Structure 1
Amino acid sequence: MCADTPEYKDTLNLPKTDFPMRAGLPKREPAWLERWEKIGVYDKLREKEGRDPFTLHDGPPYANGHLHIGHALNKTIKDMIVRSHQMMGYDSRYVPGWDCHGLPIEWKIEEQYRAKGQDKDAVDVVEFRQECRAFADKWVDIQREEFKRLGITGNWENPYLTMDYHAEAVIAGEFMKFLMNGTLYQGSKPVMWSPVEKTALAEAEIEYHDHKSHTIWVKFPIVRAVEKTGARSQLLGVNVVIWTTTPWTIPSNRAVAFNPDLSYGLYKVTAAPEGNWAQKGEHYLLADNLAEDVMKAAKVEEFVRKRDVSAEQLDLLICAHPLRGVSGGEGEWDYDVPMLPGDHVTDEAGTGFVHTAPSHGADDFILGVKHGLQMTHNVIEDGSFRASLPLFGGEVIITPKGKEGGANTAVINKLAEVGALIARGRVTHSYPHSWRSKAPVIFRNTPQWFAAVDRDIEDGQGEMGDTIRERALNSIDKLVKWTPQAGRNRLYSMIESRPDWVLSRQRAWGVPLTCFVKKDALPSDEGFLLQDPAVNARIVEAFEVEGADCWYAEGAKARFLGNEYDPEEWVQVYDVLDVWFDSGSTHAFVLRDREDGTKDGIADVYMEGTDQHRGWFHSSLLQACGTKGRAPYRNVVTHGFTLDEKGNKMSKSLGNTIVPEKVVQQYGADILRLWVAQTDYTADQRIGPEILKGVADSYRRLRNTMRFMLGSLSEFSEADRVELADMPELERWVLHRLAELDHKVRTGYAAFDFQGVFSAVFNFATVDLSSFYFDIRKDALYCDGDTPRRRAARTVLDILYHRLTTWLAPILVFTMEEVWLERFPGDESSVHLVDFPDTPADWLNEPLAAKWAQVREVRRVVTAALEIQRTDKVIGASLEAAPTVHVRNEEVLIALKGVNFADVCITSSVSLTGDPLPAEAFRMPEVEGVGVVFEKADGAKCQRCWKILPDVGSHAHAAVCGRCDEALS
């Protein structure tokens, strides 16, 4: 609304603000970052006394590269959690951290050596570790600045690093708690092994991808049966057929497994092509549900089922290894292969019989231990067969570049040569890969160090159970709240079925397993492990001062063993800890030991991606349950993965990656943060150019709302403030909505529901305010003099300003600071130093809200009726109208007459009647009993407010209405 003539225009109370329409965020945001650093906002917040602490413990990103969009999502969610809880009255702490040890960094340093033609193993281990430390340190500094650019608040000057000396000392100390409480043991069992990286990997370091594998159907001839069964005469010479996708494991076979609950039969080949591997007259034992598929794969033309074969018969059969007696085999495979029952065998694929190599499979190992099968050591660390293995020595399973070597083909060719195959093929299936090298892994039997998850711990911390597994499962259900709840189910099932934790890695860059073993003793011998608190204390003390490098220094063994032990009698372990043990221990050196940690060493929140159910959530839970008896967190919040606009996984090769730095350069960090707030982070979310354009549009609409408030509050002072009792109904309705929204905002932030918070605030700002309240009150704000109505509206605008600015500050950290400083400039001023304002209980007014819900419904009908007239060019603006509104419901009619309904509809006047609805009245089906008859406003147009009224021209000031005449006077 504005006057037609210059002299009247200058008398209006038009908005006044320097707040720009265009944000210019990419250029302006760095200045706010500098300002916050100068003020020391994070430190100032710590000075607020009497607050309950709230601590989000940071899952450490890896210090080895620039940030990707997943980092931006992760850190922004964390920042919103921290900021919102601070503004709800907590002392909300955030110590950022970094994972610094481990294979990815070590791999980068090795690459540098390879590029120079140097041998990494020829370099002194301490010198090598120092190069790894310097590499990690460089990337910590780079990532810290990239995170800060996103507006992330926290103790950036004093983050935690797993390679800090104190951290290394605590990690070693936490490991030695496992040493002392009896859960640590050395075992030889198959673990997932990366031939590329030459180390064991934990489940958390594995990802599954499609992989094309060889498949073979192999004959194991029955050579005898335990006497007394009669099976000898009936099944001698029959072949048990197995199917495998890992032909390279056949040389390590020690048994064949069957399931007693499956149905098996004896099958005879009655017709087959000439020269076929499966020959006419041969007899095979097969699971009945799979026999037809096997015969088809073997190209058998006809076959018959001879009879049943019972589990009792199978249990007593002895087979020969298919390579028994092979030329050049040197007797390597001249041993018996027993048939053993196993629940892991199914008839969903294969033959119903499973070839068992205890050194190369989890189920195989369990079965082997149960029945005393011999372990083999045929595969060495580089993924090749030991040189001394007959026929196959030196053949490679997985090459150093992660490709298939010749081992599978060599084994297949030899089996074919000796007539042991009936079929071969290829199958694409989900297969474990290292998430770092992206190369396939193998199961390989190696001596490793484990934490037993089912061994009783007598440490006086058994409230949640006596074993790590019991404590973990009870913690999940009794101590932790999960957001979303599905996270609980995922982690629970993983913990429920997981094997013992492989703690050791055969690498150099990490915290060593600080333990000693008795020379020439076996792991099962008493006294095999040295368990001495004094030795442990010396190690921790040295690590505090010198870091873990001192473990590798000359004379370290004698130094740590002290005078009590002869160094010649003990072997020092040089494996390093799984980096998940490092990060799993962070609760001890961050939450427990730091001044800005927590009194009980437990975090209020852990928040990471869904992959961390097998990663950090998992390892932290196991580690803490082993050392302190319970989970180190009270809440676990999980976000999904970020996909492109089409729902595809981001990939450099596809060219669909979104780099946070580019988004910040184009739009500003607040747009990226707003994208996070608008998405349901608990599921996989999408991002791309079109999505970001939509986010930027939402931002502009919100910015315009804030700009309108700033302009309308120009020169507002406490003297202008109006009490609730003196406010018009419309203002009291706005306050009611604010009270409702205050509850929703606080509840949403407490539940980490940023999408719900932003959606509620944004809809309120754009629908309730911009399209309704502001639209109605512009007339009073611009055209009224110093009236109670205008003062009430400005009071409400001030209240709205404080709430919207603070409510949105955790999300739009830069923009809300800009909005704040427009009204409250000053060297020490910042929206991030204030709390959400308290909301008086008497703002809630349900009867008033119900009344105004009716008013708004009728207004919708009037607005729609006028829009038709505007479209038909009957009128140019709603102020040219004076509609008659027919309302059938008497209660609604009374409600409308109790307000200035013409102002509500932004018309010059309006007539309200309970008369029956005329036939020509405009109706809306969803608003029953309301009809609008259009009429033009009667009178002249006020040259100041543009209303068309009969009294225009009859006042002291020419060409204005009575209200404007009074304002001009």
Structure 2
Amino acid sequence: MTDTAEKLDYSKTLYLPKTDFPMRAGLPDKEPQIVARWQELDLYKRLREDAKGRPLYVLHDGPPYANGNIHIGHALNKILKDVITRSFQMRGYDSNYVPGWDCHGLPIEWKIEEQYRAKGLDKDQVPVNEFRKECREFAQHWITVQSDEFKRLGIEGDFDNPYTTMAFHAEARIAGELLKFAMSDQLYRGSKPVMWSVVERTALAEAEVEYHDYESDTVWVKFPVVGYGTSDTPDAAKQKMSDLSGAAVVIWTTTPWTIPGNRAVAFAPRIAYGLYEVTAAENDFGPQPGEKLIFADALAEESFAKAKLALRKIASVSDAELSGFVLSHPLKGLGGGYEFPVPMLPGDHVTDDAGTGFVHTAPGHGREDFDAWTDAAKDLRARGIDTAIPFTVDDAGFFTKDAPGFGPDREGGAARVIDDNGKKGDANKAVIDALIERNMLFARGRLKHSYPHSWRSKKPVIFRNTPQWFVHMDKDLNDGTTLRTRALAAIDATRFVPAAGQTRLRAMIEERPDWVLSRQRAWGVPICVFVDEDGNVLKDEAVNARIMDAFEAEGADAWFAEGARERFLGSRANEPWAMVKDILDVWFDSGSTHTFTLEDRPDLKWPADVYLEGSDQHRGWFHSSLLESCGTRGRAPYDAVITHGFTMAEDGRKMSKSLGNQVFPQDIMKQSGADILRLWVMTTDYWEDQRLGKSIIQTNVDAYRKMRNTIRWMLGTLGHDEGEEVALADMPELERLMLHRLSELDQMVRKSYDAFDFKRIAKSLTDFMIVDLSAFYFDIRKDALYCDAPSSLRRKASIVVVRHLFDCVVTWLAPMLPFTMEEAWLDRHKDAVSVHLEQFPAVPAEWRDEALAEKWRKIRQVRRVVTGALELERAKKTIGSSLEAAPIVYVGRDTGDLLKSMDADEVFITSGAVVRSGLSTLGMDQPEIADADPASYFRDEAGTDHIAVVFRPAVSLGRKKCARSWRYTDDVGSDPDYPDVSARDAVALKELQALGRL
């Protein structure tokens, strides 16, 4: 051994990975530093400058509400949006993300009212614009808080210039959109049953309602038959009807409090009805033997059983006969009211699935009731029936004078349906007691069912007839279309991800009633129109212009300022026009955001390429944006709609404070980092509901750690990159295989980003990094990269490939894991500004090599079997490393031909492996196997007869261990200058010495 060899520490002669990129991420500390760096760089501005001239790709932000810290739903939503905008930015687009906030509405109003109540003040005693100022300040505070929280998630956007619905320009544009509806005769004032929150004192839209279980009082009520037929009824039918003297039609309802508002009973011509007689009774109140009652045949026995009655059918009753009945109101005479006749009306909404087959019709308390009543109004008036719809319940849930006996005339005061806390009042009891007193109650009970609640207060709502402002859904818009047909056509022209969203939104538009716009609150954009006493809207472009100009300069507060009426009406102030004081539904606000963002900002475009929100927004933002845009522009403001599900607890239950199973994004970022949260989002089926909890987070931490270590190894290897290039034709097969895999992944990544299929990208790249790279390519190439000589083509080619691998993987993952990929990129490219200013690398078509990939698929199959065999030996302590093995590997003839050019020791990481082909059936061709104990050879898990491994220790072949590479070779000591290393390693040492690196 030479003096040089004696003095060498061979570990220092290896090209071991060299990098400052830490194994431990420390994301909770590192990520805020990266956020600060992005802000210092003004990365957003650099992105815009860098993308100047590229085609725009616009994701329009659905505005979160500015009234609290962000929750996990916000995080999921914003991360998905960020990944989309970043991925398009890195693929040749100017993908500008402008965040927005919804600022008006009841939740903020409530918070300010609570502050007033705590001080013993009444909101109504404070000047309205002073109150609105406090609402504005409250919203602005939370916009600032949420902006910082979104940026901590890694969200990149124009946070310095977001859109807000309370900005003066936004309020002016919202008002302008309302005036477009008014000027085109789509806006009207009407009196219809709407969902009304007694707690919040305002009308609600369907989008503001959620359904929860609720226990209702149920009643079966008798309506006595008192009239038989009309002038058109045949005499024979009149005679039969007269035989029904003393009979009663029975209805069933879950809202006894609506009985005072009853004006008709509906039936279905397709249902079979019968006249029944009570034969026995076992009850304290209700029908007695001999009474005659009319029911749907399918429900008679069930209903009689509820009332503990026995029955017999007397006769069938036809729909022609029913249509001629005139009924008496069950509360007739109470408080001197209810003397009017109650007609029978046919209705498609009537079924015999439950109840009695008849539907109590209170047109002031239900949409179907209202429609049935108004559709029949002309005929009813011809019969002398008053078709006016009563207002039986006021905004606070109290009965009015239109409910005699229950309203202000009642002893003790008006009964109440729901109180200020959302609890049941005494209305149901009062009505039921009155029915019992008049012997009009057939039966009673309770029913637990799904019932609408306000999504803000979580309290039940009521259906209440009240004057409101509406937009027509079915009015001809002078071009043969209606708002409904326009919206349906727009839905058909829109791409939905997932596709089921199209069906869902279409069904909602097909069935929805006219759009109710008005709210009886203070904080919002007013319905800034003037009306005469008949509700006709003033159409005056000069007045509209003054309104718009004032709103642009002063905001919507101008409407509530002193002298506003005279200011806006100008010379028409002496005419009898009244200002409307209601404000717009906040869904109209958010539905109009496309106007003052997409249309008005030069860095955006209309329509947006995509809207993305939770699946609840089919009835919310997607819905209102569609209607607003179709009503004013004839099409949707988006080309595509993406929906995500909701985040559940780890056990599948809904997250709630009471269960203590909530997961907060702030906690995850503090403990693990935002990239871990982002990785979770990327690995979920976000189109469906997802689950999140400690074990799921830990799973993502483990996956992240493996990915990070793979990136770290690449960086360490590239620490020795001297920038040399190797032609594709000169590369070994293994390197060309890896480039082929990059070409496959490049197509997958680009297509999947286009399809918004992030899980596929995350899974494919994770598997690639862990399986293809760490466990296969890097595992094989470590020897060459660490030990080969500086001049080695194999080593140079591998470094070139690792360079491509790094650039592709890091840029592909940058939209998903922006912090980690930024850190890695800057570690590699010291002079770079940011990975987010890069484009996905162009992958040459010539890298694609399907034949090579198929060949190596078989080689990898053989390798897996060999690895499995050696793992058994390692477990038995026969060997400590695969380099100590020299296995004999038997394969079939076809596979053997493929392996002829393969360096078996390189692929298997062994020392002296031999591959023998020709194996067809174990034990028939090879004596080593035929004569061996079955336990002495290893077959692949699939049990085929075409791969088998016989273990041999390398030392049994007389091989020696190289002191530098640890391989066992026949040529250790062949170079006298380095007698304890292999010939390959001796060459490397001499080159290093010549280069002065020893």
Q: Give TM-score, length-normalised by structure 1.
A: 0.96
* Residue of structure 1 equivalent to 2:487: 472
* Residue of structure 1 equivalent to 2:979: 958
Are residues 363 and 6 of structure 1, via their aligned partners in 2, closer, same or farther at CA, if it must alter by over 3 Å? Answer: farther
Instruction: Report Cα offsets for 1:395-419 as digits up to 9, x if no partner.
Output: 1111111111111111111111111
Alignment of 1:351-362 (within 5 A): 351-362=356-367
> Given residue 735 of structure 2, which amino acid in structure 1 is its aligned partner?
E
Instruction: Report Cα offsets for 1:268-294 as digits up to 9, x if no partner.
Output: 111112644221111110001111110
* Residue of structure 2 equivalent to 1:824: 829
- Correspondent of 2:747 among 743, 747, 751: 743
* Residue of structure 1 equivalent to 2:446: 426
* Residue of structure 1 equivalent to 2:913: 910
Q: Is the 8 A contact 2:565 2:573 kept in 1?
A: no
Alignment of 1:77-116 (within 5 A): 77-116=80-119
2: CA distance, partners of 1:125 / 1:776: 75
- Correspondent of 1:307 among 307, 310, 315: 315
Q: Is the 8 A contact 1:511 1:577 kept in 2?
A: yes
- Correspondent of 1:642 among 639, 647, 653: 647
Alignment of 1:636-715 (within 5 A): 636-715=641-720
Alignment of 1:238-637 (within 5 A): 238-273=247-282, 275-300=284-309, 302-326=310-334, 329-330=335-336, 332-372=337-377, 373-386=387-400, 389-393=403-407, 394-458=414-478, 466-478=481-493, 480-518=494-532, 520=533, 522-523=534-535, 528-563=536-571, 565-598=572-605, 601-637=606-642
1: CA distance, partners of 2:109 / 2:705: 46
Quote how far apart the aligned CAs of 1:124 are: 0.7
Quote how far apart the aligned CAs of 1:306 are: 1.0
Are residues 220 and 6 of structure 1, via their aligned partners in 2, closer, same or farther at CA, if it must alter by over 3 Å? Answer: farther
2: CA distance, partners of 1:151 / 1:37: 11
2: CA distance, partners of 1:250 / 1:802: 73
Quote how far apart the aligned CAs of 1:390 are: 2.8
Structure 1 counterpart SS, 2:655: coil
Instruction: Report Cα offsets for 1:580-619 as digits up to 9, x if no partner.
Output: 0000000000000012221xx2000100000000000000
Quote how far apart the aligned CAs of 1:950 are: 1.9
2: CA distance, partners of 1:933 / 1:807: 42
Q: Is the 8 A contact 2:174 2:589 kept in 1?
A: yes
Q: Is the 8 A contact 1:557 1:567 kept in 2?
A: no
Quote how far apart the aligned CAs of 1:567 are: 3.8
1: CA distance, partners of 2:477 / 2:862: 71
Quote how far apart the aligned CAs of 1:5 are: 10
* Residue of structure 1 equivalent to 2:925: none
* Residue of structure 1 equivalent to 2:14: 12
Quote how far apart the aligned CAs of 1:891 are: 2.7
Instruction: Report Cα offsets for 1:355-404 as digits up to 9, x if no partner.
Output: 00000001000011012232011110111112674321221111111111
Instruction: Report Cα offsets for 1:9-34 as digits up to 9, x if no partner.
Output: 11111111111111010011111001
Q: List alignment gaps of at least 5 residues for structure 2.
A: 378-386, 408-413, 923-928, 991-998
> Given residue 492 of structure 1, which amino acid in structure 2 is its aligned partner?
R
* Residue of structure 2 equivalent to 1:226: 229
1: CA distance, partners of 2:898 / 2:402: 96
2: CA distance, partners of 1:286 / 1:11: 97
- RMSD (CA atoms): 1.4
Alignment of 1:76-225 (within 5 A): 76-225=79-228
1: CA distance, partners of 2:402 / 2:346: 32
Identity %: 57
Instruction: Report Cα offsets for 1:121-159 as digits up to 9, x if no partner.
Output: 111111111111111111111111111110000001000
Quote how far apart the aligned CAs of 1:717 are: 2.7
Q: Is the 8 A contact 2:896 2:918 kept in 1?
A: no
Structure 2 counterpart SS, 1:189: strand
Alignment of 1:806-955 (within 5 A): 806-826=811-831, 829-888=833-892, 890-916=893-919, 917=922, 918-919=929-930, 920=934, 921-926=937-942, 927-937=944-954, 938=957, 939-955=959-975
Are residues 232 and 592 of structure 1, via their aligned partners in 2, closer, same or farther at CA, if it must alter by over 3 Å? Answer: same
2: CA distance, partners of 1:157 / 1:11: 53
> Given residue 285 of structure 1, which amino acid in structure 2 is its aligned partner?
I
Structure 2 counterpart SS, 1:380: coil
2: CA distance, partners of 1:225 / 1:909: 107
Q: Is the 8 A contact 1:5 1:943 kept in 2?
A: no
2: CA distance, partners of 1:642 / 1:654: 15
Instruction: Report Cα offsets for 1:819-867 as digits up to 9, x if no partner.
Output: 01111224x6110111101000000001111111111011111111111
Structure 2 counterpart SS, 1:603: coil
Q: List alignment gaps of at least 5 residues for structure 1.
A: none
1: CA distance, partners of 2:552 / 2:69: 30
> Given residue 891 of structure 1, which amino acid in structure 2 is its aligned partner?
D
Are residues 634 and 841 of structure 1, via their aligned partners in 2, closer, same or farther at CA, if it must alter by over 3 Å? Answer: same
Q: Is the 8 A contact 2:56 2:604 kept in 1?
A: no
> Given residue 136 of structure 1, which amino acid in structure 2 is its aligned partner?
A
Instruction: Report Cα offsets for 1:890-933 as digits up to 9, x if no partner.
Output: 33112111121211111112111124442444212535511111
Q: Is the 8 A contact 2:229 2:321 kept in 1?
A: no
> Given residue 555 of structure 1, which amino acid in structure 2 is its aligned partner?
G
2: CA distance, partners of 1:901 / 1:484: 48
Structure 1 counterpart SS, 2:469: strand
Instruction: Report Cα offsets for 1:805-830 as digits up to 9, x if no partner.
Output: 1000001110001101111224x611
- Report the count of equivalent residues: 945
> Given residue 489 of structure 1, which amino acid in structure 2 is its aligned partner?
T
> Given residue 19 of structure 2, which amino acid in structure 1 is its aligned partner?
T
Q: Does 1:46 align with 2:52?
A: no
Are residues 245 and 849 of structure 1, via their aligned partners in 2, closer, same or farther at CA, if it must alter by over 3 Å? Answer: same
Are residues 4 and 896 of structure 1, via their aligned partners in 2, closer, same or farther at CA, if it must alter by over 3 Å? Answer: farther
* Residue of structure 1 equivalent to 2:994: none
Alignment of 1:749-764 (within 5 A): 749-764=753-768
Structure 1 counterpart SS, 2:439: coil
Quote how far apart the aligned CAs of 1:316 are: 0.2
Q: Is the 8 A contact 2:241 2:321 kept in 1?
A: no
Instruction: Report Cα offsets for 1:474-501 as digits up to 9, x if no partner.
Output: 11112x1110001101001101111110
* Residue of structure 1 equivalent to 2:64: 61
Moved more, 816-825 or 605-614: 816-825
2: CA distance, partners of 1:81 / 1:947: 48
Q: Is the 8 A contact 1:254 1:374 kept in 2?
A: no
> Given residue 347 of structure 2, which amino acid in structure 1 is its aligned partner?
G
Quote how far apart the aligned CAs of 1:232 are: 3.7
Quote how far apart the aligned CAs of 1:941 are: 0.8
2: CA distance, partners of 1:130 / 1:390: 43
Q: Does 1:32 align with 2:34?
A: yes
Quote how far apart the aligned CAs of 1:349 are: 0.6
